[in-house]
Structure 1
Amino acid sequence: MKAVFLDRSTIDPSIDLSPIKLAAGELVEFSLTSTEQILDRAQGAEIIVTNKVILGENELAKLPKLKLICVAATGMNNIDLKAAEKHNVCVKNVEGYSNHSVTQHVFSYLLSVVSNVPAYLKNDKQNPWSQSSKFCQIDFPVNELFGMKLGILGFGNLGQSIAKVAEAFGMQLLIAERADSEVVRPGRVSFETMLAESDVISLHCPLTDSTLRLFDSDVFAQMKTGAIFINTARGPIVDSLALVEALKSGKVSHAIVDVLEQEPPSSDHPLIQVDVPNLTLTHHIAWGSLQAQRTLIAGIAENIRNSIN
């Protein structure tokens, strides 16, 4: 079978794609593919591998040989699933491949914030220790994660991975119930309680109709003043203008944002234009450790084998 990878450059060049080639039989790679190039490049292929290339009714209706779309990610928002079903095209993603990578990312940047790492690195250059009159240079506040309350919205495999590491640091967990839920399940707290009591909030929920722009100005207003806000889930879950105002007012003491509504963002995006020191943009890299990418490729190959068989 012929497989076409439409956006191979979204995967590190050092990652070996031979598992996909072995599973499919033939693999053609393209660095990036525009909408206008999809039909020409995918014509005759039984399998399409795509990370973020959008495939809708217009494309799927004109690719009669296509049998399988392998999404090189967990989210499948770039595929028109109804159109795929209509044209008898199976769509497979890879779940769980980036759990360790995202968890490490969240705590790497969270620790950087609470330990004031950027300020100390800068201070080391500007005020050398050798010139200090004191044995230590505690010039900026350092806080501990121990005892902080971590609110987690989205408690699947990734949320549970975050919780496990948080408990190792001695953090208290507030597992939030869905915002639209009338019932709070055992072991969870209401969405409103999570907002009001959390020192840190980390999002790990999917993008759905109920989570679209969930974090708007009203929700930020309900948060504990001075909380740290982390989004490694999906950009559209957050109203970026509302986040800007929360950062400027100090309602949110620091935001670590890995995902935006549009990627790459336009130059006039609110979080690109804003000049505030309490914002860290990480350019959608949380998923991408080399180990996670290898696991992803192995998962795609497995999806191909299972679909062929």
Structure 2
Amino acid sequence: MTRVAAMEKIVFLDSDSIIADIRRPAFPHQWVDYPATAPDQVVPRLADASIAITNKVMLRREILEQLPGLKMVAVAATGTDNVDIACCRERNIVASNIRNYSVHTVPEHVFMLMLALRRNMLAFRADLRDGAWQRADQFCLFTHPVRDLHGSTLGLIGHGAIGQAVQRLALAFGMKVLIVEHKGATTIRPGYTDFDSALQESDVLSLHLPLNPKTRHLIGAREFGLMKSSALLINTARGGLVDESALLDALRAGQIGGAGFDVLDTEPPRQGNPLLDLDLPNFILTPHIAWSSREAMQTLADQLIDNIEAFFHGTPQNRVA
């Protein structure tokens, strides 16, 4: 049954974060969107809103407590670390997120990074620019090792929808896949591999889990010390999952074989970040774009409105609060 209520006011705080055809909800409403919203603009812009849409704009407790009319937070992403979920529950604010929209685009990005690093694409490109092939005595260059994915071992830390999609691609490439148990777990679930053992055995580690107090700096100096010297670390999830200082040290010391990252601890990195200046052929950094294929963003936009319509009709879906 449709809720009896005044016309909803929906405010999208950072609409430039999605490139898609966003349909309007099929119920009476007022729609306002802002390309971007600075921290000091959040409360004024949501002052009379009943539904807030945010991708990355922070909605912390001190903000939510100033918004007595807010009924729903529609997160235009899967990750909800920018929203105080506990406060939403206390204040009976429904919070919904987006599920499984990037199950094709993120795995493709993972394998782009993996292939480029295993086959030393950046190093060979630099050789060509330096004229090494042009000066070669034979038809090809052997200046860097080229390794196949086939027969190598992939450790998946996080086995949700995206992790499972990465697993399917890995199996198609002929890789052995280890599903990694929680760090510090005393009981290993059937089909899972102990955390430390997986780090020691994997040729590639790929992270697919949310950022929270338990997962922050999941990978640090200790973990790099367990990995093979030829191993790759792929992170398309959240920057805070990895201790960036430890990663920098591991790459410079040759402690691991390389890394492919799509995320940083602070985004955008307005105050700089040492990884931005790391000019090594075995490190690839992309600007948080793994999720952003046009197809994935349209799926996200459609589900976003589905979530809002479900809330309006009294049957919230994809709830996190």
TM-score (norm 1): 0.92
Q: Which residue, 305, 309, 321 being the options, matches 1:305?
A: 309
Contact 1:3 1:24 in 2 (8 A): no
Contact 1:150 1:199 in 2 (8 A): yes
C-alpha distance in 2, partners of 1:100/1:252? 28
C-alpha distance in 1, partners of 2:128/2:253? 30
Q: Which residue, 260, 279, 283 being the options, matches 2:283?
A: 279
Query: Which residue in 2 is equivalent to 1:6?
Result: 13
Of 257-266 and 235-244, more deviation after overlay is shown by 257-266
- SS at 1:28 equivalent: strand
Letter paired with 1:215? I
Does the C-alpha gap of structure 1 residues 149 and 87 become closer, same or farther in structure 2, counting only changes over 3 Å? same
Note the residue ranges of structure 1 that are not aligned, 5 or more in a row: none
Contact 1:177 1:189 in 2 (8 A): yes
Does the C-alpha gap of structure 1 residues 206 and 23 become closer, same or farther in structure 2, counting only changes over 3 Å? farther
Aligned residues: 306
1:216 and 2:220 matched: yes
Does the C-alpha gap of structure 1 residues 227 and 132 become closer, same or farther in structure 2, counting only changes over 3 Å? closer
How far 1:305 moved relative to its partner? 1.1
Letter paired with 1:11? I
Query: Which residue in 2 is equivalent to 1:61?
Result: 65
1:147 and 2:154 matched: no
Query: Which residue in 2 is equivalent to 1:257?
Result: 261
C-alpha distance in 1, partners of 2:143/2:211? 41
Letter paired with 2:40? E
C-alpha distance in 1, partners of 2:91/2:55? 21
C-alpha distance in 2, partners of 1:255/1:301? 36
C-alpha distance in 2, partners of 1:285/1:145? 23
Cα offsets for 1:72-105 (capped at 9, x unmatched) = 1001111111221222211000111111111010
1:97 and 2:101 matched: yes
Contact 2:77 2:300 in 1 (8 A): yes
Query: Which residue in 1 is equivalent to 2:238?
Result: 234
Contact 2:122 2:281 in 1 (8 A): no
Contact 1:72 1:300 in 2 (8 A): yes
Contact 1:150 1:173 in 2 (8 A): yes
Q: Which residue, 169, 172, 183 being the options, matches 2:173?
A: 169
Does the C-alpha gap of structure 1 residues 214 and 159 become closer, same or farther in structure 2, counting only changes over 3 Å? same
- SS at 2:105 equivalent: helix
1:159 and 2:163 matched: yes
Note the residue ranges of structure 2 that are not aligned, 5 or more in a row: 1-7, 314-321
Letter paired with 2:184? D
1:17 and 2:22 matched: yes
Q: Which has the higher helix share?
A: 1
TM-score (norm 2): 0.89
- SS at 1:99 equivalent: coil
Q: Alpha carbon RMSD of aligned pairs, Å?
A: 2.1
| Percent of aligned pairs sharing the same letter | 39
